[in-house]
Amino acid sequence: MQDLRQVALGQPTVGEEEIEALREVFASGWISGAGPTCVTFEKEFAAAVGTSHALSTSNCGSALHLALQVLGAGPGDEVIVADYTFPATGHSVMWTGATPVFADVRPDIGTIDPEAAAALVTERTVGIIAVDLVGQPADYDELRALADKHGLWLLEDAACSAGATYKGRPAGSLADLAAFSFHGRKGITSGEGGALVGDDTDRMDLARKLHTYGIAPAVSREGSNALAVPSFDVAGYNYRLSDVQAAIMRVQLRRLPDLVAARSRAADQYAEELGDLEQISLPVVLDDRTHPWQSYLLTAGDGVDRDAVVMALRERGVGSNIGTYSSHVQPVYGSAQECPVAARLFRTQFALPMHANLTEDDVSYVTSVVREVVGGAGVRA
């Protein structure tokens, strides 16, 4: 039997430029965290996302935690969180001692429904976390109006949205603070890593202090004529990105426009070749925002068993998985809320291969297998 073709669900785009960047940072002698390469990357990343400051972090979860710390979330507080997201979003709230209160999402693009969020505001509410689902930004004008009305802060979980825009503004500049991920499946990647960005100097200075055990990073003391011995007055964390990863990210950031363009071409081909398939629904992209296509999510229609589809695609060499999680049904949160839209998306959405290395032939193979699978009797619910 001939081996099946394999098309990976996600795949980084890395090559000689990244390898050369690694050689340079190795030769510099500074490969640990929060060093000079991180400083340079942070300046470049802040410029790319349209903010005054950027802080490189060990991952997006640590960036979210730092954001919540400097925004002042703590025990007794409630934070409204988009329900349809990887649980790192809700977890970050729990790490502060605050309570995540999950808001249902829009049925078309899966981002937080501003009306659902508004219905959850209480005297204990301190802020809102919007999630840019697989990269497409949420409704930030409406969310900002809601936050301002009640004196709340607004945090953008931009884990997937490097390269996205909302009404001409880049993701990362759409809320009080924003957190990005550089995990291996993201649009730009160093394997792991993340960033916190924002315009408020006091908040970002405090985040920088907290992310290095509660002191300024060592690079800030380089070149001093005196023995600079820092004093610890707060218990911080080790949330630093290494300079090795920062070197990779500098190259990845330069690649970003080309990577988004390649993913967009694949998304367009998927839409063209699957648009007439009645058993599934294609992703919706709103006219006032740019989608960077971190993932490509289809929605199984009535009578189609999503889980069976995913397993059948994998058996035929096509990488596939669920979309993401409905947070309120996860046991860790003990939530009594109901978010029916997010729960339905959790049951019905599934991801197709999406990365910048996909060829037209790869996409055509995937779409042919999707047609074969969803049309088969074995995936009928």
Same domain flag for 249 and 260: no
Of 233, 253, 273, the one marking the end of a domain is 253
At residue 156, does pLDDT exceed 70? yes
Same domain flag for 168 and 261: no
Same domain flag for 57 and 176: yes
For residue range 280-314, list pLDDT tens digits in order. 999 999 999 999 999 999 999 999 999 999 999 99
Same domain flag for 129 and 208: yes
Beta strands in the chain (DSSP E): 53-57, 78-82, 99-103, 125-131, 153-157, 165-166, 169-170, 177-181, 194-198, 280-281, 289-290, 296-300, 321-322, 349-352
Q: Which domain does 212 fall in, by range?
A: 16-253
Q: How many domains does the chain have?
A: 2
User: What is the predicted pLDDT for the residue at 143?
Assistant: 98
Distances (CA, A) of 105 to 91, 108, 139, 363: 18, 9, 11, 29
381 or 345: which leads in pLDDT: 345
Q: CATH number of the domain at 158, please.
A: 3.40.640.10
The vertex-260 CA angle with 281 and 42, nearest 5°, equals 130
* Residue among 153, 93, 155, 32 at smallest CA distance from 328: 93
CA distance 68 to 206: 12
Task: Give the burial class of 272: count Cβ atoms within 10 A of its Cβ; 0-12 exposed, 13-18 middle, 19 or more buried.
Answer: exposed
Copy the structure tokens of residue 173.
């500049």
For residue range 106-149, list pLDDT tens digits in order. 999 999 999 999 999 999 999 999 999 999 999 999 999 999 99
Of 197, 230, 253, the one marking the end of a domain is 253
Any idea what DSSP says for residue 329?
Answer: G
Same domain flag for 353 and 238: no
The most distant pair of C-alpha atoms in the chain lies apart, rounded to whole Å, by 76
User: What is the predicted pLDDT for the residue at 298?
Assistant: 98
By percentage, how much of the chain surpasses pLDDT 70?
Answer: 98
CA distance 214 to 236: 4
Q: What is the mean pLDDT of the chain?
A: 96
- 3-state SS assignment for residue 375: coil
For residue range 61-79, list pLDDT tens digits in order. 999 999 999 999 999 999 9
Answer yes or no: 43 catalytic: no
Q: CATH number of the domain at 332, please.
A: 3.90.1150.10
User: What is the predicted pLDDT for the residue at 1?
Assistant: 37
At residue 14, does pLDDT exceed 70? yes
- Strand 169-170 and strand 165-166: the pairing is antiparallel
For residue range 216-271, list pLDDT tens digits in order. 888 877 777 788 888 899 999 999 999 999 999 999 999 999 999 999 999 999 99
Choose the weakest-confidence range: 30-34, 154-158, 166-170.
30-34
For residue range 224-235, list pLDDT tens digits in order. 778 888 889 999
187 phi, psi to nearest 5 deg? -60, -35
Same domain flag for 334 and 195: no
Give the mean model confidence (pLDDT) for residues 156-173. 98
Same domain flag for 225 and 262: no
Residue 65 in domain: yes
- Strand 349-352 and strand 296-300: the pairing is antiparallel
* Residue among 265, 101, 251 at smallest CA distance from 189: 251
**Catalytic hit among 43, 167, 186, 209:** 186
At residue 3, does pLDDT exceed 70? no
User: What is the predicted pLDDT for the residue at 217?
Assistant: 84
Same domain flag for 60 and 122: yes
User: What is the predicted pLDDT for the residue at 172?
Assistant: 98
- Strand 78-82 and strand 99-103: the pairing is parallel
Same domain flag for 283 and 243: no
Same domain flag for 30 and 151: yes
Same domain flag for 47 and 101: yes
Of 220, 237, 253, the one marking the end of a domain is 253
Same domain flag for 223 and 300: no
